[in-house]
Structure 1
């Protein structure tokens, strides 16, 4: 009996209502823990794969209704949690559909990610139009609140040198400029969050394929996702984005900086995926795995995501993988 068959029997015995509720509670818990909310869609996606679309939809609807009711009746309950859970449900649904429809993970990432961008962008535009004060005004209020807190913290601290104090004052005394930068960056924020969120959901779900593969037959593996290659013609809009962004200081209209910055980051997210694939293969080549590999990946994303994107760009010409000879499969173990 193979490892997958043994595991399948164990999970068959546990495929019950308590396990389903555990997945729902895990999703809610991840949604409430700030940065960890990026993984919140994974338990829901696994619920879709183990129990099917109908039960998955029912679980999502029940949880949303419960959270909505709590936000209306319980004082101090964070209403943002309802939005986080709704986003996690959407990402889980898209991730599960990629698996259930046997779509290549890279193809699914591109097309389903575009759908998420359209949905998210439409919601942002609708909110901006329907909000009494407008989205930019709300961003301005939030920025002013944060800068006021920073000023208060700075006044309570006496460990600030002259140069640092001048730089700090220059930053906090320009709330309008910061508001304009955030508002003009909304397109790249929507685009990058949509694609990166879906990529994380797909990556973690496929990495834990041993949990659900006995229920949902999927002919692709994690390797197919990590071997992401950005199209070569992306180099031309990449160069254009750099020209527009930097050219604003050399005579181009000021709007070109905004266009160039948005275009550069939107393209950069694809090179980030490619660079991560190279980095992942490099860690396997060094035979680094398990929890240590997870730490390497987490810290690299947090501290050196731009390095991964640059690595992905140079991989177009150098094909770094040809230097790696360790072909150990990368699926089935947990993150």
Structure 2
């Protein structure tokens, strides 16, 4: 009887665990399906890794990917959803790996950057293997259809004329140019979105450490993530990228400038994260805390991301954080 009772308890426990995993998996899928919220899709998957096991997290990710593939085949969902979920799954693995292996957040960020850079290289390789002309042709065809739809929906607005209507017409009149500009910046945009999503999800997971801390010991906190500093050797590829932006056109033609700008954005993500940390410390220094500080950080990240990246670059030499510490110390001594 006793063993029978234990079996019942074990079965109930397993059933509860299965329901929770199912809920987290469905939540991740829903975040993908709702569009922009897809950037948070890795978080439920990370919780599966941390609260249960790596194998269950991997199985959940594979099942979720299979479900989206079936939806794509049966209901003609856009294949992009499956791709986004797959990338979210990779992102979740990287975040979980950082915590499970006890890596510092800054090391985890750099490792994620390397993985995402490899993914970008694979994408570029696939693009070259398939054929640039074919890809451009397909994208132009799809975009032309999309433009026709926009023109039909805004026919009255365009017919009325005016500056806004002319801007819209100029924007939509040449799909080939739009496609070429998109391809020029696709690598940088793709990498930046992946890295920003990874950083944002890692912040939320560390903020939610009370949920998983009892099961997974982790010595680092969100403070360590905010104190992120890009590796010093990043300065050399940064200088190279700036050189390509300035003189790349004379060496490699137009592609030189494009390469330089893409590499600049690749590295800029890391300096942006570093700049956010400096800004966070400045707000703390002037006594702004809590929710209002978070709002200011979000606003700055959205509206002044270039400035924050520049701050991050200069922080490599000036060490703003140390200056802030010295200021606090001197202020305390004066008091």
Q: Shorter-chain TM-score: what band?
A: 0.7 to 0.9
Q: Normalising by structure 1, what TM-score?
A: 0.80
Q: For structure 2, which runs of at least 5 residues remain unmatched after alignment? A: 1-12, 330-335
Equivalent residues of 1:120, 1:194 under 8 A apart? no
Aligned to 1:298: 298
Query: CA 1:232–1:88 in 2, change beyond 3 Å: closer, same or farther?
Result: closer
Moved more, 180-189 or 249-258: 249-258
Aligned to 2:324: 323
Aligned to 2:223: 223
Deviations 1:173-221 (A, max 9, x none): 3322222222232332343233333222322211211111111111112
Query: Could you tell me how far 1:51 is from its partner in structure 2?
Result: 0.2
Q: Normalising by structure 2, what TM-score?
A: 0.80
Deviations 1:74-102 (A, max 9, x none): x3544432222222111111111111111
Deviations 1:107-155 (A, max 9, x none): 1221232123213432453366358983332332343344434544554
Distance 1:190 1:69 in 2: 25
Equivalent residues of 1:117, 1:191 under 8 A apart? yes
Matched ranges for 1:83-162 at <5 A: 83-123=83-123, 125-126=125-126, 129-130=129-130, 134-152=134-152, 155-157=155-157, 161-162=162-163
Aligned to 1:206: 206
Structure with more relative contact order (C-alpha pairs < 8 Å, separation 6 or more): 1
Distance 2:169 2:176 in 1: 14
Moved more, 297-306 or 35-44: 297-306
RMSD: 3.3
Moved more, 264-273 or 305-314: 305-314
Distance 1:160 1:320 in 2: 51
* 1:197 maps onto 2:197 in alignment: yes
In our comparison, the structure showing a higher alpha carbon Rg is 2
More helix per residue: 1 or 2?
Answer: 2
Deviations 1:155-179 (A, max 9, x none): 42267534x5555444333322222
Aligned to 2:67: 66
Query: CA 1:95–1:151 in 2, change beyond 3 Å: closer, same or farther?
Result: same
Query: CA 1:242–1:61 in 2, change beyond 3 Å: closer, same or farther?
Result: closer
